[in-house]
Chains A and B, each alone.
Chain A
Amino acid sequence: MALQSGIALISDLLQFIGVFVSFSIAYVAFKGVKKTESSSLLRLATAFVFLGFGFLLEGAVGLGQLVPSLPLTATAVVVGGLLFETTGYFFLAFSHAVDVVLSKKTGVALLILPVITLTGTQLADVLSILSFYFVLYGVVETVYSYARTRKPDTLLIALGLSLIGVGTFFQWLLLLYLQVDVLSLLQIILKEMGLLILFTPVLRFAVGGVKVDGPV
């Protein structure tokens, strides 16, 4: 029992590292949007804002369990967190896509229809597996990009995304089939390791100390 609560506490604390890393990446990307008006950076920033809020909500569930007076309904908050996370992975995957084939109406319908026909638990399963596919797509596109640019950082990001992908897959397994605490800890560790690798360009950026007066 003590081991279970210990693992849960570590998992929750790790979620807050995810919050910090995600918002840091979003901050640098937003700075880039302001200076360069790049739509790719805007999608990247949006992705990490959603991921940050996703991790924040998932961490809040843990806090809610530690502090019973906090009025947090676990299932609703977990689903909310997963929804943010999946939306984040969606933007991360489609930061690479230049042309969006789907029309806006079809896209919105595809997003909303499954949501209104599923229960909370089913929704969490669907969101987890969707996250996995989005991350997988992001990995493929990043590796493809590496093949073009041969930039070591790009390969590093592909590795980070792969770790997040495996973590997301474990998360889906947990929700659907297995309720193993160690697997729960492993999935969050993999995701956090992946996120920390994604943090590398931010660190490099911070060391570089970019200064320029306003947008062009």
Chain B
Amino acid sequence: MAQYRTQVRIIADVLSTARDLNTEGSGVGVTTLLRKGNMSYTRMSKLLSELVGSGLLLELNNEKVSKYMISEKGIQFLSAYQSFEDFAQSFGLRL
């Protein structure tokens, strides 16, 4: 059965991708985020603007291509999200 993803879960997934796949330190492209995030380009663009606006992601403009990397605030958010997810899972719940 397919599981419904909440908005916070989607944000956590995007941030995790931006953190884990930024191996060279030059950021992660939209195509990679789309592939891992499993959502439409329009929806992803809107979400990325929101995440950059709220300071969870940093936008890097290299050679006219936008790339994204997780900010310190984003790392803190992911850590808090993971703790609350563990807490909820202990009670047999999903966030």
Contacts and interface: CB of A to CB of B under 8 A. Distances in A.
A201 interface: yes
B77 A145 contact: no
A6 B78 CA distance: 50
A210 B80 contact: yes
B92 A35 contact: no
A40 B89 contact: no
A213 B8 contact: no
Interface size class of B (residues with CB under 8 A): 20 to 34
A37 B90 contact: no
Given A35-B80, A153-B86, A208-B83, A144 B8 contact: no
B88 to A, nearest CB: 6
Contact of B92 (A158, A200, A216): A158
Interface string A30-44: 011001111011001
B77 A212 contact: yes
B73 interface: yes
Interface size class of A (residues with CB under 8 A): 35 or more
Say whether chain B's binding surface is mostly helix, strand, loop, or mixed: helix
Given A200-B90, A213-B73, A216-B8, A40 B95 contact: yes
Contact of B93 (A31, A40, A213, A216): A40
A201 B13 CA distance: 23
B6 A205 contact: no
Nearest to B76: A212
A36 B11 CA distance: 10
Interface string A96-112: 10100000000000000
Interface in B55-79: 56, 73, 76-77, 79
B55 to A, nearest CB: 9
A156 B90 contact: yes
Interface of A: 28-29, 31-32, 35-38, 40-41, 44, 95-96, 98, 141-146, 149, 151, 153-154, 156-158, 198, 200-202, 204-205, 208, 210-213, 216
9 contacts: A32-B87, A36-B8, A37-B6, A41-B95, A44-B88, A142-B92, A151-B90, A205-B87, A212-B80
Q: What are the nearest 10 A-B pairs in CB distance?
A: A145-B92, A142-B92, A153-B90, A201-B90, A212-B80, A32-B84, A40-B93, A38-B95, A210-B83, A36-B8
